[in-house]
Amino acid sequence: MTRIGIEAPSNIRIVRKELLDGSSEETLDIDSFAAGMPTSADLHKIRNQLNALNLGLQFFRRQMDAGMVDEANVTFLRVINRLKQIEEDVTKQANAASIAEAAQEANRRIRVLLVEDDAEQRELLAGILQIQGCDVATAPGGEAALRCLKVGPLPNYVLLDMRMPNGDGATTVRALRKMNLATDLKIVATSGSPPAEFGINVGLDGVNHWFPKPINTDRLVAYLRQDEKVVLSTSS
pLDDT of 61-95, one tens digit each?
999 999 999 999 999 999 898 888 888 888 887 77
Distance CA 82, CA 75 (A): 11
Measured CA distances, 187 to 130, 153, 156, 203 (Å): 18, 16, 9, 10
pLDDT tens-digit readout, 187-233 = 999 998 888 888 888 887 789 999 999 999 999 999 998 854 444 44
Residue 17 has pLDDT above 50, yes or no: no
Query: 109-225: what CATH class?
Result: alpha beta
pLDDT of residue 66: 93
- What mean pLDDT is predicted for residues 147-176? 87
Query: What is the rounded end-to-end Cα distance, in angstroms, of the chain?
Result: 48
Distance CA 158, CA 177 (A): 12
Among 113-117, 118-122, 203-207, which is the least confidently predicted range? 203-207
Report residue 136: phi and psi, to 5°. -115, 125
Q: CA 135, 136, 142, 148 torsion: positive or negative?
A: negative
Residue 2 has pLDDT above 80, yes or no: no
Q: CA 120, 126, 129, 132 torsion: positive or negative?
A: negative
Q: Write down the pTM of the prediction.
A: 0.55
